């Protein structure tokens, strides 16, 4: 028969408390939302283009993740106002695709200003040579272009499209960057929403206000246009950083050090709720406090480049955890499955059976977590 000394009793009590606490945490953890065949949030969206649509890309991607129903995300050009209005050349094929299978939907990224970064206006078409600005937009100068876009969407059977006007406005790389005048951005946004909603048949259009995260000192919230003008709070989330003890990864880094940096990027950079960081935790709270808006992860991806975490299954796992947690209220998400000038994001080996991803471990994990099991 064992003898229970005071020390053993203390150890036993500590173990019991730890067990009870662990059980309580498991009981309190919210049940993950199932990623089914896009019949309920969080919906899966696939990044692409009308060119890829014509090449069979979306059918191939559906097979890759074993989902017969997916949504699509497209970008309107910002070379000219004429292209930004969305003519039949781009909207007709999308309308046919969306309406061919019940449950499909389009997420459309819409430039708020056109022409070069400096704001000197489009080179061709309507308003050629005329400078553009958020201030003019807030005064209603460009409403006619957005009215035309709404009419074109309705005409092509895309009246339930989710729109992303002026995406990543808190960065400094687009003509519509809001840093110097967030109030003008917000005013212009209101003009766009009021104009498009007023078009007959466009009542089901929805609007996603979409900053990017991971920028130190960003004050995207200053450009909030008001609860009644926003349907979703959108976020762009990439596994990248310009922080010395995170990324770039040292050339001689050990696997252990690489993993430490990847976890640090997620916990201290992307998930942060610290002042001036505006990470995922900040935006969950912001959306809840501003009309309980659903979140939309409009772009997310790995970065195989100098400032990215490269083949990082941990990032895929953390994004899956975030997206499927009902407390975060994520309505849809879109992995940005393309290769870009500042780093590769591609996981899907396109062309089908011929393409090669630089991130095979992450691609495998993505399919395991975001694809449906084969029968």
- Evaluate whether residue 171 is within a structural domain: yes
What is the token pair recorded at 247?
A: 């990324």
- Evaluate whether residue 20 is within a structural domain: no
Domain at 189, CATH number: 3.20.20.80
Are the CB atoms for 327 and 288 separated by under 8 Å?
Answer: no
How far apart are the C-alpha atoms of 251 and 221, rounded to whole Å?
37
- Evaluate whether residue 23 is within a structural domain: no
- Evaluate whether residue 3 is within a structural domain: no
Closest CA to 342 of 291, 308, 299: 308
- Evaluate whether residue 42 is within a structural domain: yes
- Evaluate whether residue 8 is within a structural domain: no
- Evaluate whether residue 49 is within a structural domain: yes
Please name the residue ranges forming H helices in the chain. Answer: 6-28, 50-54, 57-65, 81-84, 88-100, 134-138, 143-155, 182-197, 255-264, 280-289, 313-324, 360-370
Dihedral (Cα; 120, 90, 172, 214), 10-degree rounding: 180
Q: What is the pLDDT of residue 277?
A: 72
- Name the domain count of the chain: 1
How far apart are the C-alpha atoms of 282 and 273, rounded to whole Å?
5
Q: What is the per-residue pLDDT across 45-80, written as a single tens digit (0 to 9) for each? A: 999 999 999 999 999 999 999 999 999 999 999 999
Low-confidence ranges of the chain (pLDDT < 50): 1-27
For residue 238, what is the enclosing H or E element?
strand 232-238
Are the CB atoms for 137 and 188 separated by under 8 Å?
Answer: yes
Provide the domain limits for residue 155: 37-370
Q: State how beta strands 339-340 and 343-344 pair.
A: antiparallel
Q: Which long-range contacts (CB under 8 A, 24 or more apart) does 369-372 make?
A: 369/35, 369/316, 369/317, 369/320, 370/35, 370/44, 370/65, 370/320, 370/335, 371/64, 371/65, 371/66, 371/67, 372/35, 372/36, 372/37, 372/65, 372/66, 372/67
What is the token pair recorded at 146?
A: 């957005």
Q: What is the per-residue pLDDT across 272-296, written as a single tens digit (0 to 9) for each? A: 887 667 899 999 999 999 999 999 9
Find the angle CA(176)-CA(180)-CA(181) to the nearest 5 degrees.
75
Q: Which residues contact 157 (CB under 8 A, 6 or more apart)?
A: 95, 96, 98, 99
Please tell me whether the overall predicted TM-score, pTM, comes out greater than 0.85 for this model.
Answer: yes
- Evaluate whether residue 4 is within a structural domain: no
């Amino acid at each position: 028969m064992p003898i229970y000394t005071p020390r053993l009793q203390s150890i036993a009590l500590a173990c019991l408390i730890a067990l009870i606490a662990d059980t309580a945490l498991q009981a309190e953890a919210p049940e993950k939302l199932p990623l089914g065949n896009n019949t309920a949030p969080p919906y899966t969206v696939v990044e692409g283009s009308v060119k890829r649509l014509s090449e069979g890309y979306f059918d191939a991607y559906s097979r890759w993740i074993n989902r017969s129903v997916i949504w699509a995300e497209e970008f309107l050009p910002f070379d000219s106002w004429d292209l930004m209005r969305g003519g039949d050349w781009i909207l007709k094929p999308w309308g046919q695709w969306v309406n061919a299978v019940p449950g499909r939907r389009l997420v459309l990224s819409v430039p708020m200003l056109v022409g070069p970064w400096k704001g000197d206006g489009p080179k061709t078409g309507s308003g050629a040579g005329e400078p553009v600005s958020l201030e003019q937009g807030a005064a209603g100068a460009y409403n006619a272009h957005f009215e035309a876009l709404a009419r074109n969407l309705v005409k092509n059977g895309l009246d339930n499209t989710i729109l992303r006007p002026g995406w990543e406005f808190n960065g400094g790389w687009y003509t519509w960057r809001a840093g110097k005048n967030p109030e003008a951005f917000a005013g212009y946004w209101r003009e766009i929403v009021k104009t498009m909603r007023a078009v007959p048949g466009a009542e089901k259009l929805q609007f996603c206000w979409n900053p990017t995260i991971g920028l130190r000192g960003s004050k995207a919230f200053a450009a909030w246009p008001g609860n009644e003008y926003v349907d979703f709070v959108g976020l762009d989330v990439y596994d990248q950083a310009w922080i010395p003890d995170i990324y770039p990864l040292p050339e001689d880094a050990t696997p252990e050090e690489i993993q430490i940096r990847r976890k640090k990027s997620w916990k201290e950079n992307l998930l942060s709720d610290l002042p001036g960081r505006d990470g995922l935790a900040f935006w969950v709270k912001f959306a809840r406090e501003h009309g309980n808006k659903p979140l939309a992860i409009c772009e997310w991806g790995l970065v195989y480049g100098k400032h990215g975490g490269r083949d990082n299954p941990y990032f895929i796992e953390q994004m899956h955890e975030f997206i499927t947690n009902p407390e975060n209220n994520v309505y849809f998400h879109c992995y940005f499955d393309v290769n870009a000038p500042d780093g590769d994001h591609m996981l899907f080996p396109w062309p089908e059976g011929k393409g090669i991803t630089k991130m095979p471990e992450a691609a495998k994990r993505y399919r395991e977590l975001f694809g449906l099991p084969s029968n």
